[in-house]
Amino acid sequence: MSKINPLFFALGIPVVVIVILVAIVAPRMGGGGKFAELTPFSVDAYRKDWATLQGNSYRLDCQVEQQLAFVEGRGRVLAVKPIEKDPTRPSGRIPIFVPAGSADSFEVGQRFKCKLRVTRDLLVVEALERF
């Protein structure tokens, strides 16, 4: 019969799987993810002077609070709540515009990582992923 101890397999395989998962998920959980290369969106800066942010793209981790408006063929306006690293300083809701081309559905409470572009004062979602 095999010379390898079965206990070795019983313990080894879960360990390997865990290592693999950590290797895959950890970088994403650490703020990187798909839009890790983008600068995090500053709600305060936007509120203070949106004009200075015009044309820029940002990364925003947020949670859907409410769909404010939906226009067929144009898109929808969502009120989202940015997910702050410091939950003691919530920055309040902001509106984002999701163009009509997106095939995603949005439910209250869902979390997304978004790539935003500041088009004039409008925060347009160019890409997103749920997490």
Instruction: Report the residue number, 7 or 24, with the smaller CB distance to another protein.
Output: 24
CA dist 52 → 20, 48, 94, 115 (Å): 42, 9, 17, 18
Is 131 a binding residue for another protein by CB under 8 A? The answer is: yes
Closest to another protein by CB, 11 or 66 = 66
Residues 69-88 that bind another protein (CB under 8 A): 69-71, 74-77, 79
The answer to whether residue 52 forms part of the interface with another protein (CB under 8 A) is no
104: which residues sit within 8 A by CB, 6+ positions away?
98, 128, 130
Q: Does 27 bind another protein (CB under 8 A)?
A: no
Q: How far is the CB of 9 from another protein (least distance, A)?
A: 27
At 59, list the tokens: 């990364």
Neighbours of 43 (CB within 10 A): 19
For tokens 């290369």, name the residue. 37
Q: Which stretch binds another protein (CB under 8 A): 3-11, 12-20, 93-101?
A: 93-101
